Structures are given as structure tokens and as C-alpha cells.
Amino acid sequence: MIKLIPGFKKLIIYTCLCCLPVLATAQQVVGPGGTSTNGSSGTAITTAVPFLTIAPDSRSGALGDAGVALSPDVNANYWNPSKLAFLDDKNSVSATYSPWLRQLVPDVNLAFLSYAHKIDNRNSVGLALRYFNLGTINLTDRNGADLGSYRPNEFSVGGSFARKFGENLSLGLSLKYIHSSLANGAFLGTQQTRPANALGADISGYYRKPTQQFGKDAIFALGINISDIGSKISYTDQGQKYFLPANLRIGAANTWYLDDYNELTVLLDLNKLLVPTPPVRDNNGNIVSGRDDNRSVPAGIFGSFTDAPGGFREELREISYAGGVEYTYNKQFSIRGGYFYENPNKGDRQYVTLGAGFKYLNYQFDVSYLAASQQRSALANTLRFGLSANFGGIK
């Protein structure tokens, strides 16, 4: 049996897989309250590779982690790939870096690279890479003998295609490859652990309509993104397989152009995981309330709206809310704020976000700060830093 050395403070790195409780490096991030790698508490619905649900960029990170209907930028590869069709520039690229869960460990971080290319007035393509580093883990056996160190990590890489249909609507499709290397080849019983791999897809849509509101020019936008639909994932050849964090994100945004220099945007996103809710079982493992969560991917997605043991009221509790406000002056300087809410019985992430952005020529720098209770949230004081560039001409 492998265990972590006592000097690893109060955090144990593990993946979201409850089938591997013996192997600490094969479960999500867990502290005293059962904190997952995306910051949710142990009350959240368990999925594999929850790093896919972490908002990667600084702009939306300052807007309460909302962005499905936000005005298009290169980070639409994550939030809503269909928005890429509305980009103005021929080429756009961005890089974002975030130290992660620094309340618990010193060396976990998330990096995100995004690129977009506008083929013509209607079609665009994008590429995205996210890399999640879970730091270095020093390993010992049960007798305290040194077994060396291990660096668990996860990444996803994918491509997107978006196309306009008319002047106001676009649709998008993304395909991605997901790799999760969290175990170092140790044996779980008679089975040897191994890196896990999966394929996933996103389907998205975006609608925006220029209009007049309160005597001012405005744009109203709607967005939808069904993300991470894909194969189940496993860390052993014959072990149990787990769902990707398939998610339904819908939202709206409204931008007012107050005058030639000032604009204001308000947005709201709603999110719901499209995975089974675990049923309530008795001491013998028999289902008392809810439905069996051992299902196929399609059955898990469609059944996720009606399978909560607490009925419709519990289904509503599985929806999280993200909203924010962005003020921009002269299309060069922005200040942002937002709020994210997740029900205490479904993950309990609740925090305020703040941030700013500055544009110089074709370059944009963004930073965001996450303010949460030091006692309740492992995400408190999280920072994200982003740099992006647009080139190829602005229409």
C-alpha cells in the first residue's frame, strides 16, 4: 500500500474515483472537508477529471465564472465554441495561468492556451490546450521507506469549428482528447493502475441581436454549450468506469453602449451536470430512493434531469449560478465583478470575483481575483493571469 508522507500538510491528492480509496494519487484533491480539484466540497456529484470544469481564463474568471453568452473572444474555445464565428480578427491567441488551491497546497496550477482562426466571414476554427499540474507527491510505503516522488497531471487538447447561419446565429462543434495520469502504476488488488484516456465533444450555439434599449444601442445575446460528452474513463483495465463531467451551460448577456467611450455588460449563466445523481442505498447496498447510477453515457445524460433521490426540488439544487458585470472604457480598460453560487448540498462553491483588463494596440492583459471565506473555501485568494493578442486586421 502506498501512502503520502505526513509532511503533505492537510491535503491528499486523489482523483474523483471512489473506486480507488486506497491509492491517494488516484483520487481528486481531498482535504478535511473532501475538497475536489475544481474546488467543490465532498457533497458534489462525483465525476472523473473535474479539472475540465475549472474556468480557465481571467476575463470570465472575474465575472463569476460566467461566459457562455459573453461577447466573443478567443477563449470561446472553452465557454462556447460557436462564438468563434463572430470574432473580428483573422487570428487570435491567448494564454492563461492560475495557481490553484493555494489554501491547501503550494504547487498545483492550471495553464490554458487558446487559438482561433477566422477562415472567412462565416467560418472559424479553434484549438485549445489545458494542462493541470497537481504538484509533486513524495511517496513512502506503510513502513515509511522512501519510494521516490511522483508528479500527477492531466491535460486535454481539442479543436473547434464554428459557422454563422445568417447575421445573428452561429453553431459550433468541438472534439477533444483527455488524458489523466494520476496513479504511478501501483497495484489496486490484482490490477495495476494506469493513465486514463477519453474522447469528448462539445455542442454549442450562440445568438446575438443588435437592438435599442432605453434610447441606447445595445446587443442582447443568448448562449448554450453542452460540454464534455464522451466516453467513460477508468484507471485500471477491468475496474469501474466513471463519467466525464458532461455539463449543460445556458446563459444570457446584455451590453449597453452608453456613448462613444463607455459600455456596460451584464450576464448570467446556469450550469447543470449531465451525469447520474447517486441513489440513496441501505446498509446492504439496496436502492432506497433514486435510480441506479450505473448507466450508459446517453442514459446518464438524459436521465440526469429526473434521477435525483429528492425529486424535482433536488434537481433544482443541482443547478449552479454564475453572473457578472463588466464596464469598459474606450475599448481599452475594463473592470469586472461577479458571483458564483452552488448549493451547499451539491458542492458548496460560493464566492465573489473581481478583475480588470487593459488593452494596448493588439494586446490584452487580464487578471482576476477570487474572494471567498478563508475557513470554508479552498479557492480563497485564487488569482488568474491572462495575456492575449489579436492580429490579421480588425473589421
pLDDT in the model for residue 141: 61
The answer to whether position 82 is within a domain reads yes
Structural domain boundaries, residue 16: 2-277+318-391
The answer to whether position 298 is within a domain reads no
Tell which residue, 96, 82, 227, 106, has the closest CA to residue 161.
82
Cβ-Cβ contacts under 8 Å for 18 (sequence gap 6 or more): 27, 46
pLDDT (tens place) for every residue of the chain, 395 residues total: 333 333 333 333 333 333 333 333 334 544 545 677 888 877 889 899 999 999 999 999 999 999 999 999 999 999 999 999 999 999 999 999 999 888 777 889 999 999 999 999 999 999 999 999 988 877 666 667 776 778 889 999 999 999 999 999 999 999 999 999 987 766 666 777 888 999 999 999 999 999 999 999 999 999 999 999 999 998 888 778 899 999 999 999 999 999 999 999 999 999 999 999 999 988 888 888 889 888 999 999 999 999 999 999 999 999 999 999 999 999 999 999 999 999 999 988 999 999 999 999 999 999 999 998 766 777 888 999 999 999 876 44
The answer to whether position 81 is within a domain reads yes
The answer to whether position 165 is within a domain reads yes
The answer to whether position 350 is within a domain reads yes
The answer to whether position 387 is within a domain reads yes
pLDDT in the model for residue 114: 97
User: Which CATH number belongs to the domain containing residue 65 in this structure?
Assistant: 2.40.160.40
A 10 A CB-CB count for 394 gives 9
Where would I find the beta strands (DSSP E) of 64-195? 91-99, 109-118, 123-133, 137-141, 146-150, 153-165, 169-181, 187-188, 191-192
Domain count across the chain = 1
Distances from the Cα of 189 to the Cα of 12, 55, 215, 297, 378, angstroms:
21, 36, 69, 27, 32
pLDDT in the model for residue 30: 42
Cβ-Cβ contacts under 8 Å for 202 (sequence gap 6 or more): 81, 160, 172, 173, 174, 176, 225, 226, 227, 228, 229
The answer to whether position 22 is within a domain reads yes
pLDDT in the model for residue 16: 35
Question: What pTM did the predictor assign?
Answer: 0.87
The answer to whether position 284 is within a domain reads no
Which residue blocks in the chain are alpha helix, DSSP H?
Answer: 58-61, 76-79, 297-303, 312-317
pLDDT in the model for residue 391: 86
